[in-house]
Structure formats: structure tokens, C-alpha cells
């Protein structure tokens, strides 16, 4: 299908677009403001260290002994370091921010690339992993929409979104490799048949809330990343992610006429609970200054402001 006709499968969501564009207008202009001597701006990668180094049979370092991050951030990589030239430490890196895509049911936590020590590489590898996991999620959505008698436009849009995610995965993998990291393997348990309500609940959580917020964050990064290559990679991705968010809301609107009032109320409650959980996640995380500066990741305060701007739309 011609790229310029991608948005014609179903009408644009004017309310969603106005909301996201209004929030993106608050993005700081490039070049980014200087750090003004704030020590937060010059700190190194966030790591937790332990002297307990467990080696694998092949002699490589194992991340199994890495401690749990105090704020629950996922482990992305580990390696060894000898800061004093003598004692060898295991350095464990954690990612404290990421764009949540449409995580499929049964997605297993990623096994990080052991050895990468660059937080930029860890970020892009993690995002690539999320993008790759979204491919089967959209294919499943397409099959379920067809099975439940949804309009063909929604089915085609879901399948096209899966194709978009393949391209996104490759773009993020390239950025990860540029910084010495590899995408973790995607491991998903086999899908089982489920009801229309179950499909819609996942769509409400992963699509209407997390994917909508992810589209907003990606758009923010495409405008504010100090690294020109990151901005160039994220511009087309941000347009695709906006359409994916529109698809989620279009599926929600279509399903509303097929669910009971009680079921619709449960979907609303699911969106509200997910929004609250996302707010807690964002509140507990402080992105490293380098990710804010070079990758355009919104700071905690900026992310909370963006999330607050979605409250009326989502809840």
C-alpha cells in the first residue's frame, strides 16, 4: 500500500490528534538548554555494583547475581569493572524509562545483552525488544477482529501496524548496535482463544493507555533528541505510533456497541487503573541526564505533565 494512503483506512481521531499535538507544543526547542552546572547532567551511567561475580561455563559474566533495582527498573545489561585497578566488580545497568508498546499477553521478561555498558544502547535495545513484541500482538489483534466480525478496515489497519513494527524494530536495532547493544530475544507464550471482552480489555490497557502514551513520548523524542540520527529515526516512527493509538481507540469505539453497559464500565475502569499505574511508574523513575539530552527522553516532570494531559482523553 502506498505510504501516503496509510491514514485512509479509517477516519483520523481528531480529539486524539489535537490532544497529542497540544501536549507536544510544550516540548523544548533545540538546541536543548545547557545543564548550568547541575551535577545531575554530568553523571555517568546508572549502575548498581556487587562483588559477587558469577561466571558462565564459557567464562563470560552472568547477570544472575545482579541485585533488584530499588525502584523496580528492569535489568538491561551487566559487565565487569575494576575502578581501582584491582578488585573486579560486577556492574549492573538498569533502564529507568522506555516507550511501552502493545505488549502481548504472555510476553516473558527480556534477558539483557550481557556486556553492553552504554545506557543509550540499553535504551534502544529495550525499545527494539518492545517493538518486536508488538508484531505478534498486532497480528493476533487482526485475527481476533476478523473472527469477531469487525470492519475490514480495522483488520487491515492491525495487519499494517504489525508491518510498521517490523520497520521500527530494525530502526531501533540499528541505534542499539551503534551503541554496542543487541536486542534481547522476544519470548511469548502461545496464544489461546479469548472472548471479545478479553480482547477489548487488552486493547484498553495496552492500546488506549500505554500505546497512546508511548506515541506521545516518541513524538516528544522526535522533537527534542539532541542526537540528529535519533530524531531522524523517530520522526516516521512517531507518525506510525500515532496511527496505532488511533487504531486502539477505533477498536474501542467499534466494540462499545457490542458489549454490555457493565462490560463497558469494566473497560473504563481498566483504563483508569492503567493510567494510575503508569503515573506511579513515571513518578518513581528519574531518567539519566544523557538519555534526556541525547535521546530526548522526557524528564520525570515532563513525563508526568504529558501523562496528566492525557487524563481527560483516557479516563
Residue 275 has a pLDDT of 94
Ranges of residues in the chain with a pLDDT under 70 are: 1-8, 29-61, 69-89, 91-100, 111-118
Residue 66 has a pLDDT of 75
pLDDT tens-digit profile of 192-214? 999 999 999 999 999 999 999 99
pLDDT tens-digit profile of 108-134? 877 665 544 468 888 999 999 999 999
Q: Which residues pair with 50 in a beta bridge?
A: 90
Cell numbers for 65: 547475581
Residue 115 has a pLDDT of 47
Residue 276 has a pLDDT of 93
CA 143 to chain CA centroid, Å, is 23
Q: 302, 213, 273: which is closest to 249 by C-alpha?
A: 213
Q: 315, 237, 231: which is closest to 279 by C-alpha?
A: 315
Residue 32 has a pLDDT of 43
The answer to whether 139 and 225 are in contact (CB under 8 A) is no
Alpha helices in the chain, H assignment, sequence order? 14-24, 119-147, 152-178, 196-202, 212-224, 228-256, 261-283, 289-294, 300-309, 311-314
**Alpha-carbon Rg of the chain, whole angstroms?**
20
Helices 152-178, 119-147: crossing angle, 10 deg rounding? 170
Residue 31 has a pLDDT of 47
C-alpha span between 8 and 244 (Å, rounded) = 13
The answer to whether 115 and 84 are in contact (CB under 8 A) is no
Residue 180, helix vs strand vs coil? coil
Residue 28 has a pLDDT of 79
List the Cα angle 30/31/35 in 5-degree steps: 125
**Strand 61-62 versus strand 47-50 pairing type:** unpaired
Q: 97, 129, 102: which is closest to 221 by C-alpha?
A: 97
Residue 284 has a pLDDT of 83
Amino acid at each position: 500500500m502506498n505510504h501516503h494512503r496509510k491514514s485512509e483506512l479509517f477516519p483520523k481521531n481528531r480529539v486524539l490528534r489535537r490532544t497529542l499535538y497540544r501536549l507536544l507544543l510544550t516540548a523544548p526547542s533545540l538546541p536543548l538548554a545547557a545543564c548550568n552546572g547541575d551535577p545531575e547532567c554530568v553523571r555517568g551511567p546508572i549502575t548498581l555494583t556487587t562483588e559477587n561475580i558469577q561466571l558462565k561455563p564459557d567464562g563470560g559474566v552472568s547477570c544472575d547475581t545482579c541485585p533488584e533495582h530499588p525502584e523496580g527498573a528492569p535489568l538491561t545489561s551487566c559487565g565487569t569493572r575494576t575502578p581501582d585497578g584491582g578488585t573486579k566488580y560486577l556492574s549492573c545497568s538498569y533502564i529507568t524509562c522506555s516507550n511501552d508498546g502493545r505488549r502481548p499477553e504472555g510476553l516473558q521478561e527480556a534477558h539483557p545483552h550481557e556486556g553492553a555498558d552504554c545506557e543509550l544502547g540499553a535504551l534502544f535495545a529495550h525499545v527494539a525488544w518492545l517493538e518486536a513484541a508488538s508484531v505478534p500482538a498486532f497480528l493476533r489483534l487482526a485475527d481476533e477482529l476478523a473472527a469477531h466480525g469487525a470492519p475490514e478496515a480495522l483488520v487491515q489497519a492491525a495487519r499494517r501496524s504489525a508491518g510498521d513494527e517490523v520497520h521500527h524494530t530494525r530502526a531501533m536495532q540499528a541505534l542499539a548496535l551503534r551503541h554496542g547493544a543487541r536486542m534481547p530475544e522476544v519470548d511469548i507464550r502461545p496464544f489461546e482463544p479469548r472472548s471479545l471482552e478479553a480482547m477489548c480489555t487488552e486493547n484498553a490497557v495496552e492500546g488506549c493507555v500505554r500505546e497512546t502514551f508511548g506515541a506521545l513520548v516518541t513524538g516528544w523524542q522526535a522533537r527534542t533528541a539532541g542526537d540528529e540520527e535519533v530524531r531522524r529515526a523517530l520522526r516516521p516512527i512517531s507518525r506510525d505510533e500515532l496511527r496505532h493509538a488511533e487504531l486502539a481507540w477505533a477498536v474501542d469505539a467499534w466494540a462499545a456497541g457490542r458489549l454490555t453497559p457493565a462490560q463497558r464500565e469494566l473497560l473504563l475502569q481498566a483504563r483508569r487503573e492503567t493510567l494510575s499505574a503508569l503515573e506511579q511508574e513515571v513518578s518513581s523513575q528519574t531518567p539519566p541526564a544523557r538519555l534526556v539530552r541525547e535521546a530526548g527522553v522526557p524528564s520525570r516532570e515532563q513525563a508526568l505533565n504529558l501523562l496528566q494531559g492525557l487524563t481527560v482523553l483516557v479516563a
